[in-house]
Structure 1
Amino acid sequence: MLGSVEMRSVSPVFVGRADELEVLHDALSRAAAGEPQALLLGGEAGVGKTRLVEEFATTACRESAVVVLGGCVEIGADGLPFAPFSTALRSLRRQLPDEVAAAAEGQEAELARLLPELGEAPRRLDGRHDEEGTARLFELTARLLERIAADRTVVVALEDLHWADASTRHLLAYLFRTLRTGRLVVVATYRADDIHRRHPLRPLLAELDRLRTVRRVELRRFNRAEVARQLAGILASAPDPAQVDEIFERSDGNAFFVEELAVAAHEGCRTGLTDSLRDLLLVRVEGLPEDAQRVARIVAEGGSTVEYGLLAAVARLSEDDLIEALRVAVGANILLAVPDGDGYRFRHSLVREAVSDDLLPGERSRLNRRYAEALEDDPTLVPADGRATRLASYWYHAHDAAKALPAVLHASVEARGRHAHSEQLRLLERAMELWENAPDSVRVGLRPVDYTEVYPPCGCDPATTPLRYLDLMAEAAVAGRLCGERERALKITKRALHFLEDESDPLREAWFWVQRSMLVQGLARGDGWKELGTAQELVRGLPPSEVHAEVLAMVAGWSMLHAPGPEALSDAQRAVEYARMVGAEDIELNARLTLGTLMVDAGDIEAGLAEMYAVKDQVEKRSLTAVVGRSHVNLPSALESVGRSGEAIEVLRTGLELTRRMGLSDSETWVWGNLAESLFPLGRWDEAAEAAANAISGGQSAKPRAGGSLHLTNVELARGDVAGAARHLADARAFNGTHDPQPQSNIPLAALTIGVAAAEGRLLDARAELRRALDAGFPPGMQRHAWPLLLAAVTAEADARGLPVAEEGRTEVLSDIFEAVRKLTTGAPVWLAYERWVRAELRCAEGVLEPGTWSEVVAAFELLERPYDLARVRYRLAEALLVSGADQESRDRATELLRLAAAVADHLGARPLADSVALLAQRARLTLARVPERSAPAPDDPVEALGLTSRERDVLRLVAVGRSNRQIAEELFISPKTASVHVSNILAKLGVSGRGEAAALAHRLRLFPPGAEAQTAAG
């Protein structure tokens, strides 16, 4: 019925886009070289995004790439969870069945949430609250794509991101952030003119813009020359210049509008065509025969794509009439047959939206009802992975609460099973909206066991008791917490607790207070104790129940991190007991981990570790996902707390393998951080720095990233990169936040703050940080963090002895440190060694260096595998030997000690220790090299060894006692500018970043004897 022009409304000639294609081809080349690529392709509706992707896909296929396409599907106002990824993975599996099977091996059940063809996804999660379920699914998806793209180039194109559901957006963001290897190109398109200020895609685009690995391409409209070329392709002949001018003016260069205007002009609709966009989009639809128009209206309301069988059931036309109507609509380029499928969609979504908007309200409701009825009569009309969501949407837009409520609840269950918690929350909120309008007969027939996974107890059997509105609120609160919509979840818990004010249901009320505690912590509005304390009071004295066990476990876990002690231990014991009574396995295992940690903290080390090892073995044997991460984080942490670093590393290596395989990205981040902590004392600093960097770059949560930054600070400070240490310390503080202070974070932060301040010569700042830490106190079990803090503080005092600024307040500071040492529990051999070390440094800070005392410290550390610590105390013993006596035996022993310390310092790259060793040897005129072959004699003066001139020596003396450039100039009779130049040269030669650090180095290395200031002034 339409002539050849209509059949060619899409130009066979690809017009323009040379720059954009070059970007895409460059991405393809980079991916082929093993560098994964991520691109965002934006432009207004109709500008040609799909055509550009098709052209790029054709090129990629010619270069032997595997190309898969997926589009975000709009059903009414709803998007299907993960629809583009499911479609793309399904296509990938059709093209590479063996490769997909091999890449998914061992994780088929989890990946089936995205690709049901891989198997059956578990309906019930490991534990009632699978905190890492979504992250695990995302991680496994990323690794699946990386494995498939390891040996071939794969292009994944995802279209219409503006319709993407929240879960799809989150998965795309995760992929763009974490893809590290593989010959992979991911291209996502979106309609830029739809992204208004409150559009949910807008914050994602802003986030991705900050990633250097993501390239964003914006498609412009065509210029006049390009419009002329497009028209020539459509008309198969050169267009009339006047026609080009008119169409260019009316279309403003929009490629789709050019096509529509060209066809309208050919059909003679020029005079009747207005400039209204809707008229422009509807004019060709209205020119179709009535049956074809009717089919177009039905397809428009069915969603982005409608399967033929479903369309036939709704259209109620004879098969011949339906096929003829479809043939006409396809021939007019209104509809398209979906490739690799049996459905139909509009050639351009703008036309679908215009046709849908043109429907009357009653007509829209009637069509949605017919869709819903057809789908209920024959569910096989649509694929299983989107069936529930589509049925729920159809019934909802049909305004039938009785049918919509159970359909929406069923869809929420499916969304939960796919870890699409954002969509689950939206569906549950829709169910709450429908609740009052649904008949009582419908509500009474609903059961919690069918629609909710979280059963706040009401004293009834969830399999026989009717579903309550509060059950929906409970499920929605958990969904909101799991998908990051904490603000919405918090409001839901507030409403729920308000409803419970008139009921006597302490268990249900306690359950909601536990949820509020987690939400408050997640929103950084407090530490959550007020809410947990309320829940604890509500269950106090009640018989054992799952909620009671969970409250006790949560309270014990909170206390373990914030206030460990006998009460926390008792709560953990009761949590284990109650969980066993009611058969809550996940609560029991988590409570046992808490119990084991608290037992170790209390000094019952072997029994506590045995408890934690038993949980770890059970978790590994049964692959209990919900507890895998914590068991491989808490156990090695407890091992490290008693100095068993090597044993901790063995558990952590297993933990890395398990968390990676299971896709537990946040747990993997914690494991990396703990690995860095355990590698450092063993002297494996390069590995520790790498592990710390992995902790910083991985995962989504801030706390484990704070740990990674702390451990990197420790390595850099020990290696003398004070500026780098300060930078990472600031990052750790920012990641850690201030809303939830925990001793296990705050004490190491304080210790490294003291260390950085001392290295920069800011002794008073170091003392202030010590004061804050001592005022906060050291809870039981915190000796692993408290001893390094006290050591950092007392070492700073010992190194600063002789500094005028150090004398005022020194006695009080040393007294405070001594009092803290006296009260601090030790227990494990490593902390007994640290106690001796700190006590020896206290004597050193008082000016007393006793070889006997330091010999005991060295002997204690020689029993431990801590090479850096041993090198440091050997240095101190050598110093004590040289100070206390000049006999040859003492000198020989000091020489050997310094040789050993120097070897360790050189191996580790511990520059401050190496400098201290070298200068002490020079001051004592000791030769550390065993065979000094033709080596230049060491200078007698340690200052000369640093390469300083005589004038720079004088300037450094004054810098060391805190003189400004002007004061130095006055005392040495030089200009302030000359003094400034000398100071800059000194800083460069010493390799320090500031005057304070230079002064600290000078005093630590004893470069100037007492009275040097007076000597300089006199000179």
Structure 2
Amino acid sequence: MLASMQQISVSPVFVGRGSEITELTDALRRAGTGSPQAILIGGEAGVGKTRLLEEFLCRAGDAGALTTLGSCLEVGAEGLPYAPLAAALRRLHRALGAELEGAAAGSEGHLARLLPEFGEADGEPNDEYGRARLFEHTARLFERLGADRTLVLAIEDLHWSDRSTRELFAFLVRTLHRSRVLLVATYRTDDLHRRHPLRPFLAELERLRTVQRLELARFGRREVAAQLAGILGTTAPDRQLVDRIHRRSEGNPFFVEELATAVQDGVGAGLTDSLRDMLLVRVEGLDEDAQRVVKIAAEGGSRVEHALLAAVLADDEEALIESLRAAVGANILRLDGDGEGYCFRHALVREAVSDDLLPGERHRINRKFALAVEAEPLLVPGDALPARLANYWYHAHDPARALPAALEAARAARRRNAFAEQLGMLERALELWDAVSEEVLANTLRPYDWAETYPPGSCDHGADDCESIQLVDVLAEAVVAARRSGDRERGLSLARRGLRLVDEAAHPLRAAWFHINRSRMLDSLRRSGSNEEIDYALRLVEHLPPSAVQADVFALSAGRGVIKGPGPEHIELAERAIRIAEEVGAHSVELHARMTLGYLRYDVLGDTEGGLAELAGAVDRARTLGVPDVLLRGINNLANMRRGLGRPEEAVALAREGLEFADGNGLLRNIGSILSGNLLEALVDLGRLDEAAEVLAACEATGLTDGHVEFLDRIRGDLALLNGDLAGAATALARARASDRQGEVQHTVPISRLAVALAAHGGRPLDARAELLAELGREQRLGYESDVYPLLVEGATVEADNRGLPQAGPGRAEALAAIAAAAAELRPRAPLHHGWARLLEAELARAEGADTPEQWAEAVALLRTTGLPHPLALALARAGEAELVAGRREAAAELLREARELASGRGDRLLAARIAGLVERGGLDLAAGERPAAAAAPAPSVGDSFGLTPRERDVLRLLARGWTNRQIAEELYISPKTASVHVSNILGKLSVAGRGEAAALAHRLRLFPDDLAPAGS
């Protein structure tokens, strides 16, 4: 029936847009080489975005590409998530059939949340991790479809997109790597007011290398003339007509078509300058019945099904068909892409028709749509039913029907992991709540699904009350939706409103639930107040009967102790959380608490093996239960603990397992950065720097830079420093510090250690000391011996290297005392820790000029048992230096040879250069007994990285002896002015403030081994 309708093609020729077509075609070509592309096409309403897209998709299809298209609906911003992606997939399903099902194999349960045709949705929880999995599996589907040919996915009218669609589109742009996929989206520029959500979205996407943004300009006179020629069927339209239409349309192609049609209909002279009137002229030219059909269709949505329109109109079928034929023939309506319904030829026409309705008319028409859909739900697609019904009742101004419909639409959005749309519908319900009587609420709202928001046992307001939904329940669900959608500021506000409604004396569990959710959101925002929220919740639930909320509060409080300073009370809280969670069946809470307890046993009780066993047992149980987020937390913590105990090989295996599991479950971008950080640290410990560089490159390629960026940036700094790249290390350090807003010890200590090392190698010992003292001034460092010991050794090395320098005197005793005091607080519990402790004791003795070869030998012996190249190489170098001072040259050569091999094998260019300086100063020959593999190119001099010329090195040597410019000039046979210029250049290249700092740097780095004593010693 519908297929027989004929539609007038107002503009049968494609005009202009040559450069835009070229850019789209070039992007298609690049995508075809395995470099995915994204094109964002903007322009005002009516400027020709759709026509350009249609032309390009036709050409791409002719070139062998697989194309699909989905359009955002105006209703999208009000609770209908993923509409364009679902439409695009539905078109692919009709076109490809079994091929699409094959590409979706293994992901059907996830993809069913987008497209019901894939079958039943999986039974996984609707949480933020489920959303991440949905996004990951969608990306994989498009990657598979683009494996053998280029896939073009086009989305129209992005300005109407729901937030979930925008986030999924952005995810595809960022994560489709090495895929033959081209993403194209159009949007209206004139709709983007200052606070429109698409503005920051577009700005963020534009930063990506693969994203291009095209802005369509209006037509010039020549293009308007070509368009008119096509419409009017003439090769040379009247010049005056072209001028008049160009002037009145201002080059907008849609307005050109409307004006040209008016001319054809003989009403050109009667048109007003009002845009709305111009848009309505063609509608007003229809007969009364056809106008009525058009007006009702305008309230049906961006797309309205034929069967639904017939049900609402309740007219004779033949009369309806004639009215629709007239509307389609007049180019007001057109058949939709599925051939099952209608949409307006242009959204501007629909807006004009809808705006022309009286308020009462709009309410009445929407009511008819709502009643028709309630009577026959199959009139609309099942995935769109809840949101469509909610919107019809809302615009019908019937709060009693709109409120339950909004809640049902929120539930439907939650089931699809579309939390932003869920939040929007819940906020609508909150808006409508006071407009609905208590009696109506009790009779129309179905029982609340407690398990989705409150864990079992948290309904503490009476059994009868638990059978009906209350306002606080809607607020609670909205809090969770806000947190899961990332709108944590809104979540905090909603939780505050919920707390105002809750009588905490009568309902302490509910109040505690809101407090712990505020704590989680404050943590995510990296804002203060999180601990206070947990403490308050703890006071509320401490003496209550067992419940899941109580167990959660205890577990969170115990976990907070791990970060802020653990004690026996936190062990007790973790154990109570485990007992209660077991009793009430809160399995995830129990596993979280067991993982926390494992760390607390390790940290507080010093029970290393017991803590490892507890944590490993919880990880094994999480594997059995299949709880992805809990399992990944456990794997991450276990890898970190084993690496800290000097077992990096085990840490590497665990971190790789975690990354593989995260990738397979769509969680790689949620936790991949911290897992990668643990893997990187372990690889650096093992001296496998090439592998570490590959992991960092993979992090960049897959976009693992959103969470824990300070972790990855700090490791970049470590790698740069090992390579002697001081500038690169400084850049990475600055980025790490800018990102580390939470100040957790597991990040601050390694960051401070990098800062101390960088300042020391840059010849700024006072800055290095200040960095060290600032970190040691923090409250808690227990449990992080593997990070704190290297920091203390680095600080002690600075003081030892600068002993005797005049500028190092003030504050030196304070620094050494602070290092010793911090060391006394640590509890070494593994061979690695004991080796670090001996190394630190020897370094502190060297700072006082009292170290002995025996002290260094003890540190070497302990560190040999770890099998790690570092800090063994450092201990060997120090031991060799001590033997050289003692006059035992053969022993020194043996130790330094081994140290050099380890340092070079690990890629530690700075330590290798220091060893080379010792060898040169002592006149040692390390060739004897050397293995052939060790005969690599000599390690570079530290001074090489500063870019000093030979003459500048000569000047620096004399400057380091404390000579004046005149003395330097006389020695080198140059003028004092030339000597002054050289000194200025040297200070700039060394990045030091004065001659004293330059002398200290030259001495500490042993740039001139023959000059054994520093200036002023």
8 Å CA contact 1:72, 1:83 repeated in 2: yes
Distance 2:225 2:945 in 1: 79
Q: How does 1:475-486 map to 2 (within 5 A)?
A: 475-486=477-488
Bigger Cα displacement from structure 2, 507-516 vs 206-215: 206-215
* Amino acid corresponding to residue 621 of structure 2 in structure 1: Q
Q: How does 1:230-241 map to 2 (within 5 A)?
A: 230-237=227-234, 238-241=236-239
Aligned to 2:646: 643
The answer to whether 1:177 aligns with 2:181 is no
8 Å CA contact 1:586, 1:626 repeated in 2: no
Distance 2:412 2:619 in 1: 31
Q: How does 1:841-860 map to 2 (within 5 A)?
A: 841-860=843-862
Deviation at 1:672, TM superposition (A): 0.9
The answer to whether 1:711 aligns with 2:705 is no
- Pick one of 687, 690, 702 that aligns with 2:691: 687
SS of the counterpart of 1:471? helix
- Pick one of 537, 542, 547 that aligns with 1:545: 547
Deviation at 1:353, TM superposition (A): 0.7
* Amino acid corresponding to residue 132 of structure 1 in structure 2: Y
Aligned to 1:528: 530
Deviation at 1:539, TM superposition (A): 0.9
Aligned to 1:1000: 1001
8 Å CA contact 2:76, 2:162 repeated in 1: no
Distance 2:200 2:982 in 1: 49
Aligned to 1:3: none
8 Å CA contact 1:938, 1:945 repeated in 2: no
The answer to whether 1:198 aligns with 2:200 is no
Distance 1:671 1:32 in 2: 33
Aligned to 1:884: 886
Aligned to 1:24: 24
Return 5+ residue gaps in structure 1 as ranges.
1-5
Return 5+ residue gaps in structure 2 as ranges.
1-5
Q: How does 1:805-954 map to 2 (within 5 A)?
A: 805-885=807-887, 890-930=888-928, 952-954=952-954
Bigger Cα displacement from structure 2, 644-653 vs 941-950: 941-950
Distance 2:944 2:501 in 1: 80
The answer to whether 1:581 aligns with 2:583 is yes
Q: How does 1:91-490 map to 2 (within 5 A)?
A: 91-122=91-122, 125=125, 130-237=127-234, 238-445=236-443, 446-450=445-449, 453-455=452-454, 457-461=459-463, 465-490=467-492
Distance 1:422 1:831 in 2: 48
8 Å CA contact 1:783, 1:826 repeated in 2: yes
Bigger Cα displacement from structure 2, 462-471 vs 513-522: 462-471
Aligned to 2:734: 730
SS of the counterpart of 2:448? helix
Distance 1:461 1:160 in 2: 48
Deviation at 1:675, TM superposition (A): 0.9
Distance 1:304 1:942 in 2: 68
Deviation at 1:959, TM superposition (A): 5.0
8 Å CA contact 1:569, 1:599 repeated in 2: yes
Distance 1:332 1:635 in 2: 69
Q: How many pairs align?
A: 998
Distance 1:100 1:762 in 2: 62
Bigger Cα displacement from structure 2, 100-109 vs 705-714: 100-109
Distance 2:641 2:993 in 1: 37
Distance 1:965 1:389, change over 3 A: farther
Distance 1:693 1:867, change over 3 A: same
Identity of aligned residues (%): 49
Deviation at 1:163, TM superposition (A): 0.4
Distance 2:945 2:335 in 1: 83
8 Å CA contact 1:454, 1:475 repeated in 2: yes
Q: Deviations over 1:548-572 (max 9, x none)?
A: 0111111112221222222222211
Bigger Cα displacement from structure 2, 745-754 vs 403-412: 745-754
Distance 1:649 1:112 in 2: 36
SS of the counterpart of 2:494? helix
Deviation at 1:951, TM superposition (A): 5.4
Q: How does 1:649-798 map to 2 (within 5 A)?
A: 649-664=652-667, 665-692=669-696, 694-695=698-699, 703-737=707-741, 740-798=742-800
8 Å CA contact 2:403, 2:429 repeated in 1: yes
Deviation at 1:908, TM superposition (A): 3.1
Q: Deviations over 1:746-795 (max 9, x none)?
A: 22222111111111111111111221222214443121221111111112
SS of the counterpart of 1:671? helix
8 Å CA contact 1:402, 1:438 repeated in 2: yes
Distance 1:33 1:252 in 2: 40
Aligned to 2:3: none
Distance 1:944 1:749, change over 3 A: closer
Bigger Cα displacement from structure 2, 803-812 vs 26-35: 803-812
Distance 1:54 1:17 in 2: 12
Deviation at 1:617, TM superposition (A): 2.2
8 Å CA contact 1:703, 1:736 repeated in 2: no
Distance 2:843 2:162 in 1: 61
Deviation at 1:964, TM superposition (A): 10
Deviation at 1:119, TM superposition (A): 2.5
Q: Deviations over 1:899-955 (max 9, x none)?
A: 22222333333211111111211111122235999x99999x999999988854552
Q: Deviations over 1:788-845 (max 9, x none)?
A: 1111111222232343322333333222212222221111111111101111111222
For normalisation by structure 1, the TM-score amounts to 0.93
Distance 1:834 1:334 in 2: 80
Deviation at 1:215, TM superposition (A): 0.6
SS of the counterpart of 1:663? coil
8 Å CA contact 1:803, 1:1003 repeated in 2: no
Aligned to 2:981: 980
8 Å CA contact 1:71, 1:160 repeated in 2: yes
* Amino acid corresponding to residue 683 of structure 1 in structure 2: G
Aligned to 2:59: 59
Distance 2:10 2:962 in 1: 79
8 Å CA contact 1:702, 1:736 repeated in 2: no
Distance 1:997 1:657, change over 3 A: farther
* Amino acid corresponding to residue 596 of structure 1 in structure 2: G
Distance 1:472 1:536 in 2: 24
SS of the counterpart of 1:216? strand
* Amino acid corresponding to residue 900 of structure 1 in structure 2: E
Bigger Cα displacement from structure 2, 609-618 vs 164-173: 609-618
* Amino acid corresponding to residue 382 of structure 1 in structure 2: V
Distance 2:529 2:912 in 1: 43
* Amino acid corresponding to residue 454 of structure 1 in structure 2: T
* Amino acid corresponding to residue 140 of structure 1 in structure 2: H
8 Å CA contact 2:578, 2:590 repeated in 1: yes
Deviation at 1:271, TM superposition (A): 2.4
Bigger Cα displacement from structure 2, 375-384 vs 344-353: 375-384
Distance 1:784 1:457, change over 3 A: farther
Distance 1:93 1:463, change over 3 A: farther
Bigger Cα displacement from structure 2, 236-245 vs 557-566: 557-566
Deviation at 1:986, TM superposition (A): 9.4
8 Å CA contact 1:968, 1:979 repeated in 2: no
Distance 1:769 1:344 in 2: 68
Distance 2:947 2:366 in 1: 86
Distance 1:669 1:640 in 2: 17
Distance 2:22 2:147 in 1: 24
